[in-house]
Chains A and B, each alone.
Chain A
Amino acid sequence: MKSCMKNRIVSVLMLTTLAVASCAAVATTPSELNDLEIAHTAYVADNIDIQYAHLALALSTNPDIHEFARTMIRDHEAVNEQALALLEKLGAEAQDNFLSQKLIADSKSIIDNLTQLRGAEFDKAYADNELGYHKAVNELVADAFIPNIENPEVKALFEQGLKIFKQHEEHAAMMVKKLNE
């Protein structure tokens, strides 16, 4: 947003339309995403985790894995409900972007791999993936999203979300440790 502004000023000074065109260019790094793209990415990230959880409920027989998966569905659905309500209140619509597309593409290959596994092998792979996934998304939310979100209500929701997802990360770490004992 800021670099976009700078470009526009430069373009006016140079009296060329070239820089204006670059201004409309899409974000290519997470910190360049606007609020609506960030909201959409988080919504997609939530839904991916819900999908993993449904897979775990279908393929695992481990009660700890089931309980964890049910918590993921319960919490991520609640976060998404809040996010949708907020977008509606703001009269905004979430925007598709490079990062949400990448997350979806990555999740497809992860789901393909997980569906091949059964028993303890599945449980371990699911738990490892949950730990890694929450870690990665939490870093993204803390370092790239929250510092760049402009709308205070959207920012507040992400701050609350981060507290929830950090708890999930710790829970996943506990699960991984227990499965390796």
Chain B
Amino acid sequence: MWLSLTRRAALVCVAHLVFSGQLSATEVAQDTAANTGTNHRVYIEDMQFSPAKLQVRFGDTITWINNDFIPHTATAVDKSWNSKNLAKGEEFSLIVSDNTVLDYYCFYHPNMIAKIEILN
């Protein structure tokens, strides 16, 4: 119990660092890989999130990669998490916790919608 709580606290802390831009996406991905969680990739391609429905477990890391030449974002419907502008080739990572908002969209193209599904 204590261990899992500390682990969650650590993950939240890492997520916070990503948002505040003090840690790069790759550092986070490596950190999680060392700790357990699976890394998932969502490609933003041809004006779509692919896969549009991604199944993960708590503690997994999701990395969004923009392959289009126009910028996109991956943004929670309530904006609680937000990749901000992703130019071509740019990435954004997020560690999924039990309070991660699962429905998201592209802030620039509101018809681009997708979701995360929790397997736990």
Which residues of A come within 8 Å of B, CB atoms?
A: 67, 70-71, 74-75, 78-79, 82, 160, 163-164, 166-167, 170-171, 174
Q: List residues of chain A with CB within 8 A of the CB of B111.
A: 167, 170-171, 174
Report whether over half of chain B's contact residues are helix, strand or loop; otherwise say mixed: loop
- Please determine whether A164 and B70 come into contact, CB atoms closer than 8 angstroms: yes
Min CB–CB distance B40 → chain A (angstroms): 24
Instruction: Give the total of B residues in contact with A, Cβ under 8 Å.
Output: 12
Q: Is B109 an interface residue (CB 8 A)?
A: yes
Q: A160-B46, A163-B46, A163-B47 are in contact. Are A171 and B109 (CB under 8 A)?
A: yes
Q: List residues of chain B with CB within 8 A of the CB of A71.
A: 108-109
- Please determine whether A78 and B112 come into contact, CB atoms closer than 8 angstroms: no
Which residues of B come within 8 Å of A, CB atoms?
A: 46-47, 68-71, 107-112
Min CB–CB distance B54 → chain A (angstroms): 21
Task: Tell me the complex Cα distance, A94–B41, Å.
Answer: 39
Contact among A70, A82, A166 with B69 in the assembled complex (CB-CB below 8 Å):
A82
Min CB–CB distance B105 → chain A (angstroms): 11
Q: A71-B108, A74-B108, A174-B110 are in contact. Are A167 and B47 (CB under 8 A)?
A: yes
